[in-house]
Amino acid sequence: MTPSSLEDRLASELAELETAGLTRRRRVLESACGRLATVDGKNVLNFAANDYLGLAGNTEIARALADGALQWGAGSGASHLVSGHLAPHEALEKEIAAFTGFPRALTFSTGYLANLAVTPTLAGRGDAVFADKLNHASLIDAMQQAKANGAEVQRYAHNDVAALEKLLAASSAATKVIVTDAVFSMDGDLAPLPLIFALAERYDAWLVIDDAHGFGVLGREGRGSLAHFNLPASPRILLMGTLGKAAGVGGAFVAGSATAIEYLLQKGRSYIFTTAQPPAIACALTKSLQLIKNGDALRANLMARIGQLRDGLAGLPLKLLPSLTAIQPLIVGENDAAVALSKALWARGLWVPAIRPPTVPKGTARLRISVSAAHTEADIAQLIAALKELA
């Protein structure tokens, strides 16, 4: 096969994506992430970012990053287990463990790598994984890797605790692993964690929780979804949280018992074989954790803006999913219609991305409105007015 014929196959698939209205396109930000953004030369209100507390452009965090780079250099030089685990990494892991209530934590460069480290490490031949059907792509890929390792994988209907219990009761697996998002990234709803935790206890299963969209936002002092539900830092729980959303920087962590974390450190391939993040990132995140802990005013404004948006869009012909989190999905239906509505908002200076399959099920293309503590009452009012006009 010639290079041109190889490329022809790719070009054909790209053309199919274009025809189906599924082509993804990047926009170039020409300003720091914030409520106001300059994107592709246009000034817009930003409802696209996961910067839930408005910390991505925080000057205190930026100063901690700069100071950390001056003290510790630009890079870590190696993986954590070779020579890349510097003092700022160690300090950050201890801070995260204390903040989440677990004995120990590991940090990762991305949430994707963190999720890839957990499920395939816990579950192999003779084991079973039980996963919510709307889990994030990184959890799905981790589940598939566990399946490649010989584990049985079963997916239960979204948040269907009764279906999950039937699967657990019927399983004779040596090790059972339940995997769920805490806040689902495209629907904005919460998993019924108390009920799922009770099943994990009853059937002696691990419970892997992805709290990417709850950490920093939910619970006392922003400690996350476990704190929101008053659940304990149980030895059977492994909690993943990302640090590039509410925390405003980048990276991720997995928190758990000392034994479970040591096991991941020794066996988790995406931890062992990845260069550690620059130590300055850890310095920035240590400052971010302080701001999250003291960020009750930010969280209060975030919840007020969410309430304002939901009240303002009541009665809209389009369906606003029942989410009380910063993720507010407005279902449009067809791909082209969602893209058209997003473009119309863009023309009015409002950046609200259209989300299409395969990220969401076919026929449920939507606008994913991300609300931030940085948004003002006037910002939300402007978005409401535009949506009422266009919908």
For 2-34, write each residue's pLDDT tens digit.
777 899 999 999 999 998 888 888 999 999 999
* 185 catalytically annotated: yes
Give the domain ranges of the chain.
Answer: 24-53+296-390, 59-293
Considering only the top CATH level, what class is 59-293?
Answer: alpha beta
Looking up tokens 């997916």 gives 155
pLDDT in tens, 99-144: 999 999 999 999 999 999 999 999 999 999 999 999 999 999 999 9
Are the beta carbons of 287 and 66 closer than 8 angstroms?
A: no
Q: What is the mean predicted confidence (pLDDT) over 50-62?
A: 97
Candidates 80, 89, 245, 287; catalytic one: 245
Length of the chain: 391
Strand, coil or helix: what is 170?
Answer: helix
* 370 catalytically annotated: no
pLDDT averaged over every residue in the chain:
96
Candidates 80, 89, 176, 213; catalytic one: 213
* 245 catalytically annotated: yes
Q: What is the mean predicted confidence (pLDDT) over 91-101?
A: 98
Are the beta carbons of 390 and 345 closer than 8 angstroms?
A: yes
CA distance 204 to 333: 40
Q: At what angle do helices 279-293 and 87-100 cross, to 10 degrees?
A: 30
Are the beta carbons of 149 and 124 closer than 8 angstroms?
A: yes
Q: Can you give the pLDDT at residue 20?
A: 85
pTM, two decimal places: 0.95
Q: What is the mean predicted confidence (pLDDT) over 313-322?
A: 94
Q: Can you give the pLDDT at residue 110?
A: 97
Candidates 76, 109, 185, 370; catalytic one: 185
What is the homologous superfamily of the domain 24-53+296-390 according to CATH? Aspartate Aminotransferase, domain 1 (3.90.1150.10)
CA distance 366 to 386: 16
Q: Can you give the pLDDT at residue 1?
A: 62
The most distant pair of C-alpha atoms in the chain lies apart, rounded to whole Å, by 61
Q: What is the CA radius of gyration of the chain?
A: 21
